[in-house]
Structure 1
Amino acid sequence: MPGRRLPAAAVLFLLAALPWVATPAAASGADRPHAVVRYTEYGVPHILAADHRGLGYGYGYAVARDNICILADSYVTVSAQRSLFHGPAAPTRSDFGRVTTALNSDLYFQNLNDSGVVERLMSLPAPLGPEREVTDMVRGYVTGYNRYLRDTGVDALTDPACRGADWVRPITELDVFRAMHAFVIGSGSGSVIDGLVTPQPPAGPVPPTATPAVSAEQARTVRDSGADRGSNAVAAGRDGTSGARSVLLGNPHYGWSGVARFWQSQLTIPGRLNVSGAGLLGFPAVLIGHNRDVAWSHTVSTPTTYGLFELTTDPADPTRYLRDGVSTPMTSRTVTVRAKQADGSVTPVSRTLWSTELGPVIGAIPGVTLPWGATVHVFRDANAGNLRMLNTWFGFGAARSTSEVDQVLRRTQGVPWLNTVASDRAGNAYYSGIQVVPHVTDERLAACSTALGQQLFRINGTPVLDGSRAACAWGTDPDAVESGLFGPSRLPTLTRADYVANANDSAWLTNPAQPLTGYPAVLGAAGTQRSARTQQTIVSAQRRLAGADGLPGAGFSLDTMSRVLFSDDSRVAELTAADAAAMCAAFPDGVAAGAAGPVDVTEACPVLAAWDRSFRLDSRGSLLFARFATRLGAVPGGPWATPFDPADPIGTPAGLATAKPAVQRAFADAVAELRSAGIALDAPLGDHQSVTRAGETIPVHGAPHALGVLNVITPTWRAGAGNVDVVHGSSFIQVVEFGATGAPRARTLLTYSQSADPTSPHHADQTRLFSRSTWVTSRFTEREIAASPVLSQIRLTERAPR
């Protein structure tokens, strides 16, 4: 899809920076890529090239310069070589899912690699396979990454995390596509790696059929948006803005370390593409960002993107299963990886993995052990065939309106497990739930759910169907890009002139004035309790549009959207803090019963009563309330005085059930916990919530997801020590404003900064800004880039092969 063309004068100006495009012969450069990387404040690169291969070349070089150790480590993972370099028992990162040991990680990835699934997807024509521009971008990225590594040398890398490491090596295009595919299936197959590589058929008598026991608490973590990845996004249209045509907030919540970090850039091919924003490490593209006419962000979505099937095994042979009464053999594959032993030797380790026509055999998922006996369970990942995700994001970069964003989503269906929220220059606010969703209708759930499936679906939305009947397989819609999926026409979208928003709940209350209902249950529930963060998102939008939030005027602007996010107001505090203070004041003699005995809470009462209900750095009382609120989720029957009412989904549940002993005990224990950590009950939040960067302690504002604060920050709490480090939360934040004409205005923040290298000047510079609630003013136009007082550039031309 062609992008908006730049004025001729602007094109000539840009081309002047690229002397190799002056003539066709020079442009070919013996098929060597070229790029200019221009750096502005905080290490943000503005990458300029004549084509996508050159753009990828500049991108690969620049991102390796900032984060080569993280990237190299991710390529070790997808190459199934963690055991080779670190030993089979080594713990491994969860960037591509959940796994306990390096050996299990390697067996999982080696099985994927042996299957050739990524190579097969790479070879398919679009939309199932990557478009030509995507292939060119990846090819250039590989060349640029390898150029940086070649020029610098492993032994001279500045990051001590991998300097001189034997696992840092040049990469191939296959490495890059494997890493992107691994990330996309990370919320599916990647979330159950241990369960996929451990099941073995019973050696003795086949155990009888029994419904597996379910740990609801563990099973619920699969869909806990605050524990892993989450996001907020708000798009305000022409009727919801002040002095602008539209304003967009993008606020994804991701881990602050590992390959699931964002990295910021601007990518420009004169006359064809000009897009600014951020992509996850390993994805050579802008995944969240804006161009001249459209801005977009994503939020982690509600649908579970995988499902299980229960099969009856053949009584004569547990490696065979019955499907419509016909005994069918399973397939097996012996997977071998190399593992370094304690004495330094390398030994092959092999395991036989089993699969069926419906998917691989699985032995466990979070909260459930799945024994192999008279029945066996198999796993299907709806994203297993999704290597088209960059087709979607490249399409966004060239879109000129939210309607074109919608067209891209319908044509590619490459968004793996995300909602899309977008705004455009015409003043449209757009929400889309078009993504990869298993085609499991309500009718199929009713007819085919097993006893386990009926439990799991209520807890976390995972369908478990009777695989012994062919009629219980996933269906397919005619407009689905691949089989087994709901088509775009069956998925929710909404365009409005006031606003749309999402904070990881289902599409139901995208805008409460126009609820989205009537969709299959697998997409997420309607008419059920929303998270406190969803409530805070909607309340913040409604108050801003009404001018009732204490900020100037009514409606969103670049400034007010920025201020709303960093107000750090808590929905849970608004609904319960006054009740908690009153409860505290009512304890006889100021003593409450804690789990370990009586606790004097007298000192806590005035602190809580005077608290400003926010999680800003200077807030006093926020630490006490946070420790109290973390315990409220465990109160039997819930902590609320007024239960949830579907007729008032934003105002309920509300009030604190202060008469419940469990609520009183939670408060007493919170007071005792702070004292045991040596933290004053009225200590400012910033004194005890921070992140450490190269030995520097940087205070961090915000609060965990459960508190209903938009600016999610997840610290690690250690008993006796308090919050010891921030590990997750707001990551690449952008606010983009469109006027009727002219360039977009944008503010951004990369909370953990551009580089993981502690020696880099951009290891913590934006983190300090985030601590002060200070934004970076985006430089998008050539005039803005040229005006940067720190402007520098690198010209890159790949050397001809010898």
Structure 2
Amino acid sequence: MRARLRRLVVTAVAVLTAATTLPAAAADRHDRQEQHPTHGGLSAVVRYTEYGVPHIVARGYADLGFGTGWAQAADQVCVLADGFVTVRGERSRYFGPDAAPDFSLSSASRNLTSDLYFQGVRDAGTVERLLARPAPAGPSRESKELMRGFAAGYNAWLRQHRVTDPACAGADWVRPITALDVAVRGYALAVLGGQGRAVDGITAAQPPTSATAGSVDPADAARAARELFASDAADMGSNAVAFSGGTTANGRGLLLGNPHYPWQGGRRFWQSQQTIPGELNVAGGSLLGSATVSIGHNAHVAWSHTVATGVPFSVHQLTLDPADPTAYLVDGRSERMTKRTVSVAVGGGERVTRTQWWTRYGPVVTSLGAALPLPWTATTAYALNDPNATNLRASDTALGFSRARGTADVRRALARTQGLPWVNTIAADSRGHTLFTQSQVLPRVTDELARRCSTPLGRATYPASGVAVLDGSRGDCSLGRDADAVEAGIFGPARMPTLTDQEYVENSNDSAWLANADRPLTGYERVFGNVGTQRSMRTRGALEDVAALADRGRLTVRDLQGQQFANRVPAGDLAAADVARACAALPGGTATGSDGTVVDVSAACPVLADWDRTTDTDSRGALLFDRFWRKLTASVPGERLWKVPFSASDPVATPNTLDTSVAGFATALADTVAELRAAGIALDSRLGEHQFVVRGGERVAVPGGTESLGVWNKVEPVWDPAHGGYTEVTTGSSYIQAVGWDGGGCPVVARTLLTYSQSSDPGSAHYRDQTRLFSTEKWVASRFCEKDIMASPALEVVRVRER
């Protein structure tokens, strides 16, 4: 298949090496020339090794973008094309207005609302203005060259190949793209946590009629805001840990990155190595449509990201002008909203036109998610401030990481570019240094500002979730500016929670407080996250594991690999023995289900007692406990679940001791046994028989477990008892990397795994190959150094050209 999909295979490896290894000075000259289109067109050399991993070599940034766009299209053309339809505001035209997008680039519930939002971005020229800003406020020339090259490479692949993926073969929506399309896709990812989560509320916002009324109960809003961010953990999360040289066998750092991202759609990772001789050499995972490496390593430093707890937006409550509901008061003066009329095609020649309303703070919104309405009444409206709506700097942050020579350079890149919208950074380097930092773009909402300027609604939401609702009628409630911030209204680098050179730094999507359990981070503003509150089961399990590893010492990359696939279930360690004993003590071995049916649960008791407390694919009892634990935690509030409550003085070990007498315990057990029996699933069946994905008609068992179980190797599958249990994984472990250094001829020691494989095309040889590895807990030995690339038995060399 690879041979059919690629042209111009170069068989003379010596010719390739001579052609692509430029002296540094020549590379610099070529890079400067790339400010203008090249007469011969763009080109790159792509060298494929095992599992379809491309190693892209280019003479400058535009050529590197070209090779990256070409190689991504070869593996993911349909997924990429679908995303470009989204950011062009054309989903309704091709797929109908009422269908739902895949949530990769926004939280829009319908194609129509997605189109209205992105067409509005296009009509307003938002991204063009950001592209025109000089660096560092805007993207650098190198980043823009990468975007230009990516579009050219994608288009060249389309011209030179016939699409065979049945997901889009012959589809008229698979079309050439522009550099602006690439930039808008990057913009969509930047605003994903702000405007992107409010697309429905932005596009639905309309001035009130005489009948419009409504108010928001502060207690309900606080609860809804908490739930809004709790739902994020199920969709996207991550673990990452960096170990210092003091804990390792050779005094050099170690890093394990385990991001939890969607397994389908446009937020998939794609693996590659990018090289500009004398300038850049980096390997790792890129989010689709991106020309830079998002999570990866070079010869000196490795890094990963975890989704952060910072709230990347603020809400401003508007006091409306009594004479005009489309005007609002600031310090007693009336300001008119800006009306944007947006029109999109919905197919059959029909168009839909809607208006959007914008203020000095941002767009008027009528909801944040389905659970948090913000009604526009005759007296009040709400505007969303998203500081990432002026942030097109993430590519430069990634380039800074890619060129870094240590964790100090990673920090400098973050301080210079300030481009990460919603993630933490964890890093280790070859000299034994470690770094954790929550350096993300956040609205400059200090606790003092929140105390002074919160509305009654904000006084409920800000302590509960970090969502600030500020009084938009007061000029003295503006967000202000930090001296070291790249622009007004965001926090500067000095404010970011940061921990350096500790034995370990770790994050599993809780706040920065316990990046190291022995060195708690405090003193940051509430908008960054909380302090002194109960940690998730996954955080608790992760901290137990990494602290034990650090204490043991003499660590190597093999220890990181063991951590990734330990598949230990912290919830099982805490509760399974108590569940088994309480099960065995039930009178008559029965319990009553939620529908009133009496169920014989006696056969479940020994299964739970004998379970090995893991979610390995051959584990017996894991499925039974998983289904029980989901039902129990969904029906019993957390504070009633444990006999020993949470204590901030012992945050890793508490709460503990399951209260099996709580109402709902026996019901959850009865419902679980009844559910499995109704599906024809044995209570002691192996997990892998019922937790799997189907690839090309083959059932591939999937190890790992859900969020509530606290498993490091997180997966979130879909329960479908009619088809044998859990089937498709929706999100979870994705691009995994375990990286260290040995100081040898090739100093980097890296093991990687892309759980869902490189290609989404069922006809590709790389549609399921790494998924099989994931199933059997095997890894790919990274080929980073030149001698290792050239020694690959699967080596295939391709010279790709624009024309």
Which range, TM-score by smaller chain? over 0.9
Match for residue 391 of structure 2 among 378, 386, 393 = 386
Q: Where do residues 354-369 of structure 1 align in structure 2 (5 Å cutoff)?
A: 354-366=357-369, 367-369=371-373
Match for residue 757 of structure 1 among 756, 761, 779 = 761
Is the 8 Å Cα contact of residues 212 and 368 (structure 1) preserved in structure 2? Answer: no
The question of 1:46 aligning with 2:30 is answered: no
Question: Which residue does the alignment assign to 2:557?
Answer: 558
Question: Which residue does the alignment assign to 2:3?
Answer: none
Q: Which amino acid aligns with 1:590?
A: G
Question: Which residue does the alignment assign to 1:692?
Answer: 694
Give, in angstroms, the shift of residue 524 of structure 1. 0.6
The SS at the match of 1:103 is: helix
Question: Which residue does the alignment assign to 1:615?
Answer: 615
Structure 1 range deviating more: 136-145 or 559-568:
136-145
What is the CA–CA distance in structure 2 between the aligned matches of 1:723 and 1:123, rounded to whole Å?
A: 48
Distance 1:82 1:25, change over 3 A: closer
Deviations 1:171-220 (A, max 9, x none): 10000000010011111111111111002111215637664773666543
Question: Which residue does the alignment assign to 2:114?
Answer: 105
The question of 1:173 aligning with 2:176 is answered: no
Q: Which amino acid aligns with 2:89?
A: A
What is the CA–CA distance in structure 1 between the aligned matches of 2:448 and 2:223, rounded to whole Å?
A: 28
Is the 8 Å Cα contact of residues 246 and 739 (structure 1) preserved in structure 2? Answer: no
Q: Which amino acid aligns with 1:227?
A: A
Give, in angstroms, the shift of residue 314 of structure 1. 1.8
What is the CA–CA distance in structure 2 between the aligned matches of 1:668 and 1:618, rounded to whole Å?
A: 24
The question of 1:89 aligning with 2:64 is answered: no
Q: Which amino acid aligns with 1:579?
A: D
The SS at the match of 2:400 is: helix
Q: Which amino acid aligns with 2:132?
A: S
The SS at the match of 1:727 is: strand
Give, in angstroms, the shift of residue 643 of structure 1. 0.7
Deviations 1:681-703 (A, max 9, x none): 11100000001112221100000
Q: Where do residues 201-220 of structure 1 align in structure 2 (5 Å cutoff)?
A: 201-204=207-210, 207=213, 211=217, 214=220, 218-220=224-226
Match for residue 157 of structure 2 among 136, 148, 173 = 148
Question: Which residue does the alignment assign to 2:671?
Answer: 669
Q: Where do residues 640-659 of structure 1 align in structure 2 (5 Å cutoff)?
A: 640-659=642-661
What is the CA–CA distance in structure 1 between the aligned matches of 2:296 and 2:630, rounded to whole Å?
A: 33
Match for residue 460 of structure 2 among 455, 463, 472 = 455
Give, in angstroms, the shift of residue 596 of structure 1. 1.7
Q: Where do residues 510-589 of structure 1 align in structure 2 (5 Å cutoff)?
A: 510-547=515-552, 554-589=553-588
Give, in angstroms, the shift of residue 32 of structure 1. 2.2
The question of 1:130 aligning with 2:139 is answered: yes
Question: Which residue does the alignment assign to 1:728?
Answer: 731
What is the CA–CA distance in structure 1 between the aligned matches of 2:380 and 2:720, rounded to whole Å?
A: 43
Give, in angstroms, the shift of residue 739 of structure 1. 2.7
Give, in angstroms, the shift of residue 527 of structure 1. 0.7
The SS at the match of 1:369 is: coil
The question of 1:267 aligning with 2:271 is answered: no
Deviations 1:268-305 (A, max 9, x none): 11111110111000011111000000000000000110
Question: Which residue does the alignment assign to 1:319?
Answer: 326
Question: Which residue does the alignment assign to 2:4?
Answer: none
Is the 8 Å Cα contact of residues 278 and 287 (structure 1) preserved in structure 2? Answer: yes
The SS at the match of 2:415 is: helix
Distance 1:270 1:127, change over 3 A: same
Give, in angstroms, the shift of residue 628 of structure 1. 1.4
Distance 1:105 1:698, change over 3 A: same
Question: Which residue does the alignment assign to 1:7?
Answer: none
Match for residue 246 of structure 1 among 241, 249, 253 = 253
Question: Which residue does the alignment assign to 2:9?
Answer: none
Q: Where do residues 630-649 of structure 1 align in structure 2 (5 Å cutoff)?
A: 630-633=630-633, 634-636=635-637, 637-649=639-651
The SS at the match of 2:191 is: helix
The SS at the match of 2:284 is: strand
What is the CA–CA distance in structure 1 between the aligned matches of 2:487 and 2:289, rounded to whole Å?
A: 25
Give, in angstroms, the shift of residue 92 of structure 1. 1.6
Distance 1:217 1:767, change over 3 A: farther
Give, in angstroms, the shift of residue 589 of structure 1. 1.1
Distance 1:556 1:355, change over 3 A: same
Deviations 1:353-408 (A, max 9, x none): 11111111111112221211121111111211110110000011110010011110
What is the CA–CA distance in structure 2 between the aligned matches of 1:678 and 1:95, rounded to whole Å?
A: 35
The SS at the match of 1:113 is: helix
Q: Where do residues 210-609 of structure 1 align in structure 2 (5 Å cutoff)?
A: 211=217, 214=220, 218-224=224-230, 225-243=232-250, 245-340=252-347, 345-366=348-369, 367-373=371-377, 374-547=379-552, 554-597=553-596, 598-609=598-609
Q: Which amino acid aligns with 2:352?
A: V
Give, in angstroms, the shift of residue 14 of structure 1. 7.2
Aligned residues: 776
Deviations 1:309-333 (A, max 9, x none): 1111122221121222222221211
What is the CA–CA distance in structure 2 between the aligned matches of 1:242 and 1:640, rounded to whole Å?
A: 40
Give, in angstroms, the shift of residue 638 of structure 1. 3.2
What is the CA–CA distance in structure 2 between the aligned matches of 1:475 and 1:133, rounded to whole Å?
A: 31
Q: Which amino acid aligns with 2:66?
A: Y
Q: Which amino acid aligns with 2:771?
A: T
What is the CA–CA distance in structure 1 between the aligned matches of 2:249 and 2:658, rounded to whole Å?
A: 37
Give, in angstroms, the shift of residue 168 of structure 1. 0.7
Structure 1 range deviating more: 723-732 or 469-478:
469-478
Distance 1:218 1:276, change over 3 A: same
* TM-score scaled by length of structure 1: 0.94
Question: Which residue does the alignment assign to 1:778?
Answer: 782
Question: Which residue does the alignment assign to 2:6?
Answer: none
Distance 1:286 1:78, change over 3 A: same
Give, in angstroms, the shift of residue 719 of structure 1. 5.6
Question: Which residue does the alignment assign to 1:678?
Answer: 680
What is the CA–CA distance in structure 2 between the aligned matches of 1:773 and 1:622, rounded to whole Å?
A: 17
Is the 8 Å Cα contact of residues 270 and 287 (structure 2) preserved in structure 1? Answer: yes
Structure 1 range deviating more: 241-250 or 449-458:
449-458
What is the CA–CA distance in structure 2 between the aligned matches of 1:363 and 1:707, rounded to whole Å?
A: 35
What is the CA–CA distance in structure 2 between the aligned matches of 1:331 and 1:719, rounded to whole Å?
A: 51
What is the CA–CA distance in structure 1 between the aligned matches of 2:215 and 2:228, rounded to whole Å?
A: 26
What is the CA–CA distance in structure 2 between the aligned matches of 1:397 and 1:516, rounded to whole Å?
A: 27
The question of 1:163 aligning with 2:162 is answered: no
Give, in angstroms, the shift of residue 724 of structure 1. 2.5
Is the 8 Å Cα contact of residues 632 and 638 (structure 1) preserved in structure 2? Answer: no
Structure 1 range deviating more: 29-38 or 653-662:
29-38
The question of 1:190 aligning with 2:196 is answered: yes
Structure 1 range deviating more: 736-745 or 504-513:
736-745
The SS at the match of 2:174 is: coil
Deviations 1:384-443 (A, max 9, x none): 111011000001111001001111001111011110000001101111111101111111
The SS at the match of 1:227 is: helix
Q: Which amino acid aligns with 2:557?
A: L
* TM-score scaled by length of structure 2: 0.94
The SS at the match of 2:233 is: coil
Distance 1:607 1:47, change over 3 A: same
Give, in angstroms, the shift of residue 478 of structure 1. 0.9
Q: Which amino acid aligns with 2:59?
A: A
Question: Which residue does the alignment assign to 2:707?
Answer: 705
Distance 1:745 1:20, change over 3 A: closer
What is the CA–CA distance in structure 1 between the aligned matches of 2:492 and 2:412, rounded to whole Å?
A: 13
